[in-house]
A and B are shown apart, each in its own frame.
Chain A
């Protein structure tokens, strides 16, 4: 059983990825990211994703501040932030997030403030979910790498 640690972890990772694809949380763009990872940039995916988390949290906070502002200044800045969010989410392959961004954008163009708020919450929610899942994925990956480094004597 011990010797199969790495295999099992890899299987778990694949299952998690399959689930995320199935749910529409991720799309093929994520695979593109993985393909860009090679010897010259071995941690490319986790680096980009971490940058994405960092930036997205800032964006989401800004969006919330803008929307909750008593003197509501208008949708232009929201539009710009939203555009950023959409761009980065689609570049990562976070399809569901990007879709919510589209809905959000629509609501903002209609000057529909409650709609925007709802969209923002959805966005935050989706983001939480994605972040958790991807963290899980990366943890599995790290464990897998560790397990791959361990050599077990053939006892079984």
Chain B
């Protein structure tokens, strides 16, 4: 693998003895995903990159494997939305107990979840479907973590936290020595629970971050971590910590810029402001939430926190909008047909070998008229009934639409007929999409819901059911429960 060679030639890495031995190949990865398909795919990717993979769908099994400690894992990859245990919870446990870097993989690209993950210390946040290039690069996180841990242990004390109860040599032990006693582990857990610290991690307090931002502004275009180090002038702060913080900061700024460019400029919401800050401060204050009315200088907050600027849409009626077409690439664009439909490959002649009867999946679902669908039931069914017609099941409820089928016929490569029912309108597909630009990827109300619910969540890692906590909080808040 060329990555390996690059790693070996990199002068920074060559300086440190520990890293010279580090080889991405054979790195031990634990992969956890509820979804078997995604897990299988992930395992294949990881194996292709020559990592050593262990995979499971269950979180408890994964934790058990990690806790056994017989083979120490270098990296944990997990998904976020799971049935048995929340991904964030898992992240917390793994980071606190085992101190292994965690990478998220998820189907949901909700920005607030990403923020939450970063704040809780996830190393990377990948979106499904995962690409092989991203998997080829994840070993970086392991190296980075080792570097920062070793740096940390060579410092005399943690910068922010003077309550450090564990001597720094313990950190070295964690990195180098593989086995720890159960006593130590429990102690560790108890300590970390009580003080809620992540030992090897530098906490960027607001003061420190302010200094950081000042330094960035001072340096202007030419920002170097070394120079920043001098300006910040904080004892014990290392260049690497500044560098990684800078990277995060830049990323957030970019996303912010993107967001403000893409979305229409509406007034920023102060409530979101506070809550987002709360998330960030929560991370700083050992994962405890700040009080709601803490006043923060808006500049700093703006700089750090992403401010989603969305127009809050009207949800009363779902209208067809051009955004629908842009989001869902309709085959008519390919086929050159003007009707906004999915083009189906329909076998219109009985003689042709049919594929539809092969479909063993409940055919009733396709062919029934759902009585509870108001209004446009007959129109919606028209789509599926095309196939009904094609396979010879005449449906009597299908009135007045019979004329339009198979008008436009072109042959595809196999010489079969593809029909475009021109005359029939299908507004229902559009009904499903609401009238908003951010349809496909991000959803503003979803975001506000998420931010709100996550701000109510208590990060003190009491092992309570998240759903329950949320419900309790919501009931306590005199608001209708959001499910």
Give the contacting residue for B432; candidates A19, A60, A86, A119; CB below 8 A.
A119
Name the A residues within 8 Å of B34 (CB-CB).
84
- What's the minimum C-beta distance from B231 to chain A, rounded to whole angstroms? 44
Contact A55 B329 (CB under 8 A): no
In the complex, A83→B37 CA distance in Å?
Answer: 13
A residues 110-156 near B (Cβ < 8 Å) are 110, 112, 114-115, 117-119, 121-122, 124-129, 131-133, 135-136
In the complex, A122→B38 CA distance in Å?
Answer: 23
B14 interface residue per 8 A CB criterion? no
B48 interface residue per 8 A CB criterion? yes
- State whether A29 and B129 are in contact (beta carbons under 8 Å apart), knowing that A22-B331, A47-B40, A118-B373 are contacts in the complex: yes
A18 interface residue per 8 A CB criterion? yes
A residues 20-51 near B (Cβ < 8 Å) are 22-24, 29, 32-33, 36, 40-41, 44, 47-48, 51
Give the contacting residue for A51; candidates B40, B83, B131; CB below 8 A.
B40
Name the A residues within 8 Å of B82 (CB-CB).
80
Size category of the binding interface on chain B: 35 or more
- State whether A121 and B380 are in contact (beta carbons under 8 Å apart), knowing that A12-B414, A74-B483, A128-B356 are contacts in the complex: yes
Contact B432 A135 (CB under 8 A): no
Contact A131 B328 (CB under 8 A): no
Name the B residues within 8 Å of A112 (CB-CB).
318
Contact B359 A132 (CB under 8 A): yes
In the complex, A76→B365 CA distance in Å?
Answer: 23
In the complex, A41→B46 CA distance in Å?
Answer: 13
Contact B37 A91 (CB under 8 A): yes
The chain B residue with its CB closest to the CB of A92 is B37
Contact B37 A110 (CB under 8 A): no
- State whether A106 and B434 are in contact (beta carbons under 8 Å apart), knowing that A24-B334, A48-B37, A128-B359 are contacts in the complex: yes
Contact A80 B83 (CB under 8 A): yes
The chain B residue with its CB closest to the CB of A101 is B107
Give the contacting residue for B38; candidates A73, A88, A129; CB below 8 A.
A88
Proximity string of chain B (360-390) to chain A, C-beta cutoff 8 Å, 1 when within and 0 when not: 0110011000101110000010011000000
- What's the minimum C-beta distance from B334 to chain A, rounded to whole angstroms? 5
Contact B132 A32 (CB under 8 A): yes
Name the A residues within 8 Å of B81 (CB-CB).
79-80, 83
Give the contacting residue for A99; candidates B328, B413, B467; CB below 8 A.
B328
- What's the minimum C-beta distance from B32 to chain A, rounded to whole angstroms? 13
The stretch among B154-162, B249-257, B258-266, B440-448 that forms the contact with chain A is B440-448
In the complex, A80→B35 CA distance in Å?
Answer: 11
Contact A121 B129 (CB under 8 A): no
Contact A48 B365 (CB under 8 A): no
Name the B residues within 8 Å of A92 (CB-CB).
37
Name the A residues within 8 Å of B35 (CB-CB).
55, 84, 87-88, 91
In the complex, A47→B41 CA distance in Å?
Answer: 10
Name the B residues within 8 Å of A12 (CB-CB).
414
Contact B432 A103 (CB under 8 A): yes
The chain A residue with its CB closest to the CB of B363 is A128
Name the B residues within 8 Å of A18 (CB-CB).
413
B19 interface residue per 8 A CB criterion? no
B79 interface residue per 8 A CB criterion? yes
- What's the minimum C-beta distance from B165 to chain A, rounded to whole angstroms? 39
- What's the minimum C-beta distance from B450 to chain A, rounded to whole angstroms? 10
In the complex, A103→B441 CA distance in Å?
Answer: 10
Name the B residues within 8 Å of A129 (CB-CB).
344
Contact A114 B373 (CB under 8 A): yes
In the complex, A52→B358 CA distance in Å?
Answer: 17
Name the B residues within 8 Å of A16 (CB-CB).
414
Contact A86 B107 (CB under 8 A): yes
Name the A residues within 8 Å of B138 (CB-CB).
none
Contact B44 A41 (CB under 8 A): yes
Contact A115 B370 (CB under 8 A): no
Proximity string of chain B (317-336) to chain A, C-beta cutoff 8 Å, 1 when within and 0 when not: 01000000001111100110
Name the B residues within 8 Å of A75 (CB-CB).
483
In the complex, A90→B106 CA distance in Å?
Answer: 11
Contact A106 B380 (CB under 8 A): no
Name the B residues within 8 Å of A124 (CB-CB).
361-362, 365-366
Contact B431 A115 (CB under 8 A): yes
- What's the minimum C-beta distance from A34 to chain B, rounded to whole angstroms? 11
B233 interface residue per 8 A CB criterion? no
Contact B433 A55 (CB under 8 A): no
The chain B residue with its CB closest to the CB of A83 is B81
The chain B residue with its CB closest to the CB of A22 is B334
Contact A117 B356 (CB under 8 A): no
Contact B483 A131 (CB under 8 A): no
Contact A133 B128 (CB under 8 A): no
In the complex, A128→B386 CA distance in Å?
Answer: 14
Contact A110 B372 (CB under 8 A): no
The chain B residue with its CB closest to the CB of A20 is B345
Residues in chain B within 8 A of chain A (CB atoms): 34-38, 40-41, 44-45, 47-48, 79, 81-83, 106-108, 128-132, 315, 318, 327-331, 334-335, 342-345, 355-356, 358-359, 361-362, 365-366, 370, 372-374, 380, 383-384, 412-414, 428-429, 431-434, 439-440, 443, 445-446, 449, 467, 483
Known interface pairs A19-B345, A55-B36; 18 further A-B residue pairs with C-beta atoms within 8 A, sorted by A's residue number:
A22-B334, A23-B342, A36-B45, A51-B40, A84-B107, A86-B128, A91-B41, A102-B439, A103-B432, A103-B433, A104-B432, A106-B433, A114-B373, A117-B373, A119-B432, A122-B383, A131-B359, A131-B361
- Nearest first, the 4 A-B pairs at minimum CB distance are A74-B483, A87-B107, A88-B37, A132-B355
23 contacts between A and B (CB under 8 A): A22-B334, A22-B335, A32-B132, A44-B44, A51-B36, A61-B362, A74-B483, A76-B483, A84-B34, A86-B108, A87-B35, A87-B38, A90-B129, A92-B37, A96-B342, A103-B433, A106-B434, A114-B374, A115-B432, A121-B380, A124-B362, A124-B366, A131-B359
